[in-house]
Each structure stands twice: as C-alpha cells, then as structure tokens.
Structure 1
Amino acid sequence: MKQQIQASVELATTWLFAEQKASGEFPSYASSLLEAPNWQPDSVNFVTALTSLALQGLDLPAAVAMQERAAQYLLGEREGAGLWRYWAKAAELHDYTPPDADDTACCSLAVGSSAGTANQRVLLANRDPQGRFYTWMLPRPEVRSLAYRWQLRSERSTSTRSRRVELWQNSEASPSDVDVTVNANVIRYLGPNLAPASAIEWVASVVEEGTEVEEDHWYRSRTSLYRSIAVSAREGIERFAGLRSLIISRLVDMAAADEFRSDLELADALRVLRLFDAARQDCANLAEMLLQRQLPEGCWERAV
C-alpha cells in the first residue's frame, strides 16, 4: 500500500499544482447547505490557508512551491497587525464579515513567521468572560486592550456598522459567537506557551462530553475539530494529548458505521489517527477507502 499512497499523493499534487492560480490563491466554490449542490466560484482566504497547511510535510518540490505562492498571496490579504477575513479582498463579500479569529489563526499558520506576533495580543484580547475565543473580532466594551481597539477601529464607522447589522440579521452569525473548532484552531496557532488554559479546558470538555455538534457552528464536522486537537497534542498541549484514546475510538466507530459525510472528513480522520499513532490496521482501513475514492485526474469529490 505504501507505493499506492505515494502514487496517489503525487497524482493529487500534480492536479493541485495545475489548479492553483498564478496569484497563489487556491480556487474555491460555494453552494447552498440546504439544497442540491449548485457550485459557484468563490474567493476565500480560508481555503487557501487550509490547503497550504495540508501540504506541510510533503517532500515534493511542487508542494513546497505551492506553499510559498500561497503564503505570498495570503500576506497580501493581511490587514493591520496581521488580521484576516473569510473572503478575499477581491471578493464582492469581502467587507460583509469582520476580521475573525479562525481565519487569522489559520492564515497565520500558513504564512509562518512572516505573520509576526502582533496579532497574538489581539487574539488573546478577543475572549469571553469564560476565557474562550470569540469568533468575530469586533469592538467590545469589556475589552480594554488599546492594541485591540486600534486594530478594530474601522469597525466603528457608520457604514461598517450597517454592514454588520446586515450580517447579524441575514445569517446565523452572532457578535457573541463562540465555536469549539475556531477555539481549537486559535489554540493551535498560539501553541502551548500562549494558549490560555481556560480555552484549552473548554475544548477538551466539549470532546469529553460529546457536545461537539452543539458547539460547532461553522465547520459542522467533528473531524475538523479532532484534526486541530491532534496537531496541538503533538505540539505540546498535554490536555489534548489526554483525549487520544477517546478520539481514536470515536473515529474507528465512525468508519465502521460509514458515517463520514465526505472524502475530506475521511482524510481528516486518517490524519488524526496517524497523528495519534493509532493501530496500523485502523489507519490502513481508512487509507484504502480514500485511495478507492480518488478520481482519475487526482482529486476527490467536492463537498460542502
């Protein structure tokens, strides 16, 4: 199977290399969650960041080149002290949402040291009374940080505030939104030395109590949460390392019941099992499923 996996990775890398835009952006598509898929081109920083992160560790020249181009693109999308929004600057909906913790964390991870550290203070200031990270970066009366207030000063303009009212009224977004996977991604970015214990404990408690679905407002996927937790566990978040057996058990059960909703969830699950050093056969079972689902051109089925 090792040779099959290597061939699969090389084929997928070749396909992705051809798809990446000259700007460094990876193309993305949007479709309704409630109706039959009707894919429309979109332009979001999030997809470029996560695609680049997925390439990390691949010892292939094309993979390295794609990461470098993606980093340069994302640096051009950066605002202020290293904040990012969901939609790219060229997208019609760019200003529909404020900068957010999730895109800021994921884009920072994708660009590496070029992101600087100024945004870490801003992220740490953007927390609720329980110490959890808010999703949206907004002016908040309780936040005393001058750096935070300065970086979010544009959110106080009349036109921007009107845009935010539109967002809160016409979507499921809320100014007080707190999401478990967003918190896990910010923890991953900040690392064991900076990530607050309160946020770490909350994420861990959600997994232990099995309330991931209720606390996941944007990803709608346990595997996305588990992926971030597993990476952080490898990088020194001991509380997350203690979730190893529980998460492995859940993923093995999901595989047995064929509960992965997409090829991406399957790939996430396989990565988590490997990060947690799960049983070789459990990893092999998921790898075989993923190999079988790869399309001839090298990609996998698109999914919401």
Structure 2
Amino acid sequence: MDVRPLTEPEGPAPEQIGKALERGLTYLQNHQYPNGEFCCYIAADKLMQGPCVPDHTVLPTAAIASALLALADHPKAVAILTRTIPFFDYQMMRGGVVNFFALRNPLFQLNPPDADSTACVAAFLDAWGVIYPRNSVRALLLANQRGGAGIGNWFVLRPRLMRQRTYWRTGLRALKAPLASWRFWQQHGYSRNDRGGVANANVLHYLSVDGSSLHILDYLVALVRNRKETDRDPRYRTPITFYYALGRCYRANPTPFEGVRSLVLERLMTFRQPNGGFGESLLETAQALSALSAWGGKPEIIRQAANVLLAGQQYYGEWPRALHFYASLGSPLGWGSEELTTGFCLEAIMAYQRWEQQEMANT
C-alpha cells in the first residue's frame, strides 16, 4: 500500500478533512460521464497495475452515488448525484429491476438482472426522493427469497407458484438467447442459487428490518456467527466489504445486530496493517473506516485509519483504483476505478468526521 507512515497520534485536522473532501468531489465532478455514469475498468490484478479495459456498468455508479449521500448537503455532491438520476432511470427494466451491466454493454443481454444492483439503485432513488416503481421493486426482491436463506442474487425463474406477471416477464428474459446465456453462466461459474452476504445486506438496507425481511436479517446474522461472510458470494471476496455493508444496516437500526457487534469488530481487526490501514488497498481501508465508525471501533484505530486514508489521496484529488466487484468464482477478473475508490473514501472521511464530532460531544 503506497501511503506515508503514521507519525501523528491524533486524527486529521478539520481543515485537512475539508480540503480532502473538496478535492475528491472536484475529481468526481470532472470525471463523470455526460450521461451520469462513472468510469469503471475490468482488470485481472487486484491493484489494477496491469492492463485495464473500460467497461459500462451500473452497480459501480450506484455504489458511488450511495456513498456520496453522506455529502448530500455539499453543492458539488448535489450536482453529481443529480446527474446520475437520468442514467439510473434509463437502466431500469420492467418492474424497476437493474442489471450489473449497462444497456450499452454486450453482456447486458446475457446477464440477468440482480438483487444487489437493484437494491443499491432503488435505495439511492428513495434517499434522493425520486419516483420509480418502488412497490414493484420491493415485491420482486421479496419474491426472490430462498426459503429462509436470504435473497437470491439473480432474478431468474424458480420452481414456485407465483402470480406476479412482472416476476414471470423478468425471469423469462433469459429465453431470448438460451444457449449464449447458458455459456455465459458456465464461463463465469454463476449458479441460479447464488446468494451473498453483501447483496443481502444491501437489500436489507433498502427494505429495512420489518416482518417481511426478518429472514434476511437471520441469514446475515448467521453468516457472522458461522464465519461464512463470503460463502457462495460470486461478487465480493473480502469480508471487509460485508462488514461495511452490514454496518449501514447497523447504523440505521442497531438493536437487531448487537449480538454480533463484538464479532464484527474482532474480525475487522484481523485485516489491520502495521501502518494503520486495512486489507490490501485504500479502498478496503475506506470501507473498514466506514465500518469501524458505524460499529463503534476503538478511537485510536479509527483515527489511524483516517490518517492513512487522507495520506493516500493523489495529486488530482482521487484515490488509487483497486478491484472491488468481481466477475466470477475462481476468476481474477474484476472491476474498479479511481472514481469508485474515491467515492468510498469520501464516504469514509465523512463517517469519520461525524464520528469525531460525536466523540467530542460525549466528552
């Protein structure tokens, strides 16, 4: 990890934070496509130092937009988020579901819409007060549940009696190119029964905890208790992302997750590096900082991670690219970009700032 060593025992000063946020938002504003999308590359190495190919996708832009909600009162963030709305509106399919790949991507025809992308886009639109087929999205997500084992990743037909017309229209889409679709699934190692902790945490964050989503809550808690945070998850391979996503649910409603809070904090610490960062990249450090701020980690650990993050900001205000979204099980290919890392870093810095303000208020 290319960062300067820690020398200060305290966290970043408010003026440092303000400058970092301003530079990061300026970078994102200058690098957003005219249609509202953000660049995302596909590469084979985790730090993306080798060949990188631009790829049109939806979920990375949704992740950036969701992260920038933490800065929703900043004029530059407002301008960025407003530009993403037409992009998301154009990508929504029948019933409001969303595909990981953008419409202009050739793989859009082969890949089914997924719960993760759909929940992330819908949660952002909800937060931004945008009208979309909300009732349909919620109904389709709940219809995709897997008998107490959380929500399935893919919107595909399952052997069950369903009376929702939109459910059948969405699932039958794969029959448009059955052979090519089958080859795509075989090539990437996907399964109709795929499910994942991060996707389910994103769905729960969107739905919130209530009687209809308790099975998702139980599934997520069981993943933590049984050390299966990345079990059968074809898209995310680091548990840090899971703790980050689950932390958003904890921040919204701590009570259902109090029983696993100590486990989450203990396991997050296993990824801590000697310099105070986490994982193998600044992207993972950013997600860890957001998670620690949400779950209530030790103050000195949180402040050191914040120092590492600010030290890692680059010349134009960005943070280095690193893989985040993965293509398939057993494949090194994945997606990432400076824009994606920068979005997570800005969110983490804001989370740190609010945590620090709370700490000061409590003393």
TM-score by length of structure 2 reads 0.78
1:280 corresponds, among 294, 299, 317, to 299
CA distance in 2, matches of 1:28, 1:210: 31
Q: Using the aligned pairs only, state the percent identity.
A: 27
Instruction: Please state if 1:230 is matched with 2:247.
Output: yes
Instruction: Please state if 1:193 is matched with 2:206.
Output: no
1:81 corresponds, among 86, 95, 107, to 95
Paired residues for 1:140-159 under 5 Å: 140-152=158-170, 154-155=172-173, 157=175, 159=176
Instruction: Please state if 1:130 is matched with 2:142.
Output: no
For 2:62, the equivalent position in structure 1 comes to 49
Q: CA deviation at 1:280?
A: 2.4
1:221 corresponds, among 235, 238, 247, to 238
For 2:352, the equivalent position in structure 1 comes to none
For 1:101, the equivalent position in structure 2 comes to 115
- Relative to structure 1, the CA distance from residue 211 to residue 299 in structure 2 (aligned partners, 3 Å threshold; closer, same or farther) is same
CA distance in 2, matches of 1:281, 1:42: 39
2:106 corresponds, among 86, 92, 117, to 92
- Relative to structure 1, the CA distance from residue 9 to residue 119 in structure 2 (aligned partners, 3 Å threshold; closer, same or farther) is same
Which stretch shifts more, 260-269 or 201-210?
201-210
Q: What is the number of equivalent residue pairs in this alignment?
A: 303
Which stretch shifts more, 42-51 or 269-278?
269-278
CA distance in 2, matches of 1:68, 1:216: 32
- Relative to structure 1, the CA distance from residue 195 to residue 230 in structure 2 (aligned partners, 3 Å threshold; closer, same or farther) is farther
CA distance in 2, matches of 1:276, 1:174: 33
For 1:179, the equivalent position in structure 2 comes to 196
Q: CA RMSD in A?
A: 2.0
For 1:5, the equivalent position in structure 2 comes to 17
- Relative to structure 1, the CA distance from residue 204 to residue 299 in structure 2 (aligned partners, 3 Å threshold; closer, same or farther) is same
Q: CA deviation at 1:23?
A: 0.8
- SS for the counterpart of 2:79 is helix
Q: CA deviation at 1:33?
A: 4.9
Which stretch shifts more, 204-213 or 23-32?
204-213
- Relative to structure 1, the CA distance from residue 249 to residue 123 in structure 2 (aligned partners, 3 Å threshold; closer, same or farther) is same
- SS for the counterpart of 1:185 is helix
Aligned amino acid, residue 136 of structure 2: A
- Relative to structure 1, the CA distance from residue 288 to residue 70 in structure 2 (aligned partners, 3 Å threshold; closer, same or farther) is same
Which stretch shifts more, 39-48 or 232-241?
232-241
Q: CA deviation at 1:89?
A: 0.5
Instruction: Please state if 1:294 is matched with 2:308.
Output: no
Which stretch shifts more, 38-47 or 218-227?
218-227
Q: CA deviation at 1:168?
A: 1.9
Q: CA deviation at 1:176?
A: 1.2
CA distance in 1, matches of 2:266, 2:92: 39
- Relative to structure 1, the CA distance from residue 156 to residue 214 in structure 2 (aligned partners, 3 Å threshold; closer, same or farther) is closer
- SS for the counterpart of 2:210 is helix
Deviation by residue 1:77-127 (Cα, 9 ceiling, x = unmatched): 100111000110111211120111111111111222423221111111112
Q: CA deviation at 1:278?
A: 2.6
Contact 1:25 1:48 in 2 (8 A): yes
Q: CA deviation at 1:30?
A: 0.7
1:70 corresponds, among 59, 84, 90, to 84
Q: CA deviation at 1:63?
A: 0.5
Aligned amino acid, residue 102 of structure 1: D
Contact 2:278 2:284 in 1 (8 A): no
